[in-house]
């Protein structure tokens, strides 16, 4: 059977059961502000995240990034009616010229 261990602050290992889960504790993450950049929409300089959000809202834009669910999916194109027959006739004409 596989054993599980946790390590305390001093580096000592302690065996725990298979149903052990760590106690939840508050974790904090402080994200730095963005670097100033020039807007591609109107050329103004955006200096903070809050200004970035306001700017997007004011111009009716959304930030997509890597989220592919927001991108428009290309519609599958359907060939015009009769295209297959036209291609067949064109190939037959070329083949008939080669035989002559």
What is the spatial distance between Cα 55 and Cα 41, in angstroms, rounded to a whole number?
9
| Beta bridge pairs of residue 5 | 15
DSSP letters spanning 83-94? HHHHHHHHHHHH
Question: SS3 for 23?
Answer: coil
Q: How confident is the model at residue 43 (pLDDT cuts 50, 70, 90)?
A: very high
pLDDT digits (tens, 9 = 90+) for 25-40: 888 888 888 899 999 9
| Residue (of 73, 75, 46) closest to 61 by Cα position | 46
What is the spatial distance between Cα 43 and Cα 55, in angstroms, rounded to a whole number?
11
Tokens of 40: 């591609």
């Amino acid at each position: 059977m596989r054993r599980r261990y946790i390590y305390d602050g001093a580096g000592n290992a302690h065996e725990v059961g298979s149903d052990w889960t760590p106690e939840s504790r508050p974790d904090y993450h402080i994200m730095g502000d963005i670097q100033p950049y020039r807007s591609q929409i109107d050329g103004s300089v955006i200096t903070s995240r809050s200004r970035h959000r306001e700017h997007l809202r004011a111009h009716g834009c959304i930030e997509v990034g890597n989220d592919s669910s927001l991108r428009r999916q290309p519609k599958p194109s359907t060939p015009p009616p009769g295209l297959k027959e036209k291609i067949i006739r064109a190939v037959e004409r070329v083949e008939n010229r080669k035989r002559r």
